[in-house]
């Protein structure tokens, strides 16, 4: 019994090292907590200021063998807990692997980068018309200067999105080293909705209030819709820039086809001797680990645009400007402040609110 207690204490103190030496299967637990508070400066619609648990997630992951690993992650912040990740992955090939389960589909850089590591509190509105997590199978491969992924998928695991489709993403990485990163990519997906009806709507780059400032309503008699995206990112020491363009074409049976477009661009700069971390194999950004015990300080500004009006569908058009400050206290503790300015057209009610947002974030 004493030996077992000593072993358990060593495992809790040095879990990563001991798990690497353990027989399969093994298991690791973790999670995240994101606490937000938002103050609105309202215009037409009266958005409600207040606080919320933006994300409260727990996960379990591990390896079943040298070639098989898994992850199961639930978010307890919504009214009903939601399964986020739930997949098996086979990595027994050379520079490739197979995914099966519920996972993020190959779409945009902003969508694929974890909410733990995004530069801003919320994703740009243009990402609101890209694919998220779906149940499916995928094949991923990578080389020295590229990575790609193709997938076939069905419903989202919680029933929030129903239908099927397939998609792919290809990333070319001319440079990725300790000083700089150059990231260029594109993605495409074909989708068929279960009831031939889709609805596109977005919040004003805040989450506190449920009001959608741009909203197409139900678009019916949809045969299929295709998303095409291009993306780019550049990092040089403390400086970073990132941009994406998303084009959505909706094909209808007895009405004119529709086209919706969104894009964003942002720059960021560290006042401390730090930089954004890039994961070349997955073509996305990762955890920032401050080089000083005083933490890392980052300033950022983003402009984004989304147009959800075309032909007989009047979802509105809007511009969004976000100013951001990130203080990375440690690699797992982060404090963030964003100020969002919104400008919409008359179709969207000419509603031009702004919002000051704060977040305290901890993951483990």
User: If pLDDT is split at 50, 70 and 90, which confidence band does 25 have?
Assistant: confident
Residue predicted with more confidence, 8 or 113: 113
Give phi and psi for 15, each to the nearest 5: -65, -40
Q: If we measure between CA atoms, which residue out of 20, 2, 18 comes closest to residue 10?
A: 18
What is the torsion angle, in degrees rounded to the nearest 10, for the CA atoms of residue 248, residue 251, residue 254 and residue 258?
20
- Which tokens in the block code for residue 344? 């919409």
CB within 8 Å of 27: residues ≥ 6 apart = 19, 60, 61, 62
Q: How far apart are CA 33 and CA 8, in angstroms?
A: 26
Please say if the pLDDT value at position 4 is more than 50: no
- Tell me the C-alpha distance between 170 and 182, whole Å: 14
Q: What is the pLDDT of residue 172?
A: 98
Q: Look at residue 22 and tell me whether its pLDDT is greater than 80.
A: no
Confidence at residue 125, expressed as pLDDT on a 0 to 100 scale = 95
Greater model confidence, 130 or 339: 339
Say how far apart CA 147 and CA 279 lie, in whole Å. Answer: 10
Judged against a pLDDT cut of 70, whether residue 242 lies above it is answered with: yes
pLDDT score, position 128: 81
Number of H helices, E strands in the chain: 3, 20
pLDDT, tens digit (0-9, with 9 covering 90-100), for 38-77: 999 999 999 999 999 999 999 999 999 999 999 999 999 9
pLDDT over 80 (residue 21): no
| Res 8: pLDDT | 34
Higher pLDDT, 129 or 103: 103
For the chain, which domains are there?
33-52+109-135+143-363 (2.40.160.10)
Report the 10 Å Cβ neighbour count for 61. Answer: 17
Question: What DSSP state is assigned to residue 112?
Answer: H
Q: Tell me the per-residue pLDDT of 249-288, one tens digit each, with 9 for 90 and over.
A: 999 999 999 999 999 999 999 999 999 999 999 999 999 9
Give which of 158, 180, 140 is closest to 283, Cα–Cα: 140
Summarize pLDDT for 69-89 with one digit per residue, the tens: 999 999 999 989 999 999 999
**Tokens standing for 89?**
């992955």
Percent of the chain with pLDDT over 90: 91
Rounded CA-CA distance 341/213 in Å is 13
d(CA 32, CA 360): 11
35 touches 54 (CB < 8 A): yes
Q: CA angle 318-323-327, nearest 5°?
A: 145
Residues 301 and 326 sit within 8 Å (Cβ to Cβ):
no
Q: Which one, of 273, 261, 110, 62, lies nearest residue 178 by Cα? A: 273
Helix, strand, coil percent content, the chain, rounded in steps of 5: 10, 60, 35
Name the pLDDT band for 129 (thresholds 50, 70, 90). Answer: confident
Do residues 179 and 272 lie in contact, with contact meaning Cβ atoms separated by under 8 Å? no
Averaged confidence pLDDT in the chain: 93
Global model pTM greater than 0.85:
yes
pLDDT band at 1 (very low <50, low <70, confident <90, very high): very low
* The predicted structure's pLDDT at residue 274: 98
Given a contact cutoff of 8 angstroms between Cβ atoms, the answer to whether 189 and 247 are in contact is: no
Q: Which of 362, 364, 284 is nearest to 328 (CA)?
A: 362
Dist. CA 214–CA 345, nearest whole Å: 10
């Amino acid at each position: 019994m004493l030996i077992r207690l000593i072993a358990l204490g060593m495992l809790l103190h040095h879990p990563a090292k001991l798990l690497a030496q353990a027989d399969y299967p093994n298991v690791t637990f973790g999670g995240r907590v994101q606490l937000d508070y938002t103050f609105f400066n309202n215009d037409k619609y009266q958005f409600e200021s207040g606080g919320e648990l933006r994300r409260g997630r727990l996960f379990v992951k591990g390896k079943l063998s040298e070639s098989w690993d898994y992850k199961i992650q639930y978010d307890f912040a919504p009214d009903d807990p939601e399964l986020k990740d739930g997949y098996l992955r086979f990595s027994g090939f050379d520079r490739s692997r197979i995914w099966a389960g519920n996972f993020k589909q190959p779409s945009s850089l902003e969508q694929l980068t974890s909410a733990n590591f995004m530069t801003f509190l919320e994703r740009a509105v243009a990402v609101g018309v890209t694919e998220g997590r779906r149940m499916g199978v995928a094949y991923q491969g990578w080389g020295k200067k590229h990575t790609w992924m193709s997938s076939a998928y069905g419903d989202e695991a919680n029933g929030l999105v129903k239908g099927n489709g397939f998609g792919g993403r290809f990333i070319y990485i001319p440079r990725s080293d300790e000083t700089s990163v150059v990231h260029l990519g594109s993605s495409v997906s074909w989708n068929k909705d279960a009831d031939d009806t889709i609805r596109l709507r977005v919040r004003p780059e805040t989450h506190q209030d449920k009001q959608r400032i741009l909203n197409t309503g139900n678009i019916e008699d949809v045969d299929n819709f295709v998303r095409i995206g291009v993306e780019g990112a550049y990092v040089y020491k403390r400086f970073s820039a990132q941009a994406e363009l998303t084009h959505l074409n909706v094909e209808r049976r007895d009405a004119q086809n529709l086209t919706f477009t969104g894009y964003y661009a942002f720059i960021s700069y560290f006042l401390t001797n730090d930089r954004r971390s890039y994961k070349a194999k997955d073509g996305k950004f990762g955890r920032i680990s401050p080089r000083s015990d005083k933490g890392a300080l980052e300033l950022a500004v983003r402009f984004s645009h989304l147009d959800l009006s075309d032909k007989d569908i009047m979802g509105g058009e809007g511009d969004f400007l976000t100013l951001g400050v990130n203080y990375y206290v440690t690699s797992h503790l982060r404090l963030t402040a964003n100020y969002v300015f919104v400008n919409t057209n008359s179709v969207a009610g000419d509603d031009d609110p702004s919002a000051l947002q704060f977040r305290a974030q901890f993951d483990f």
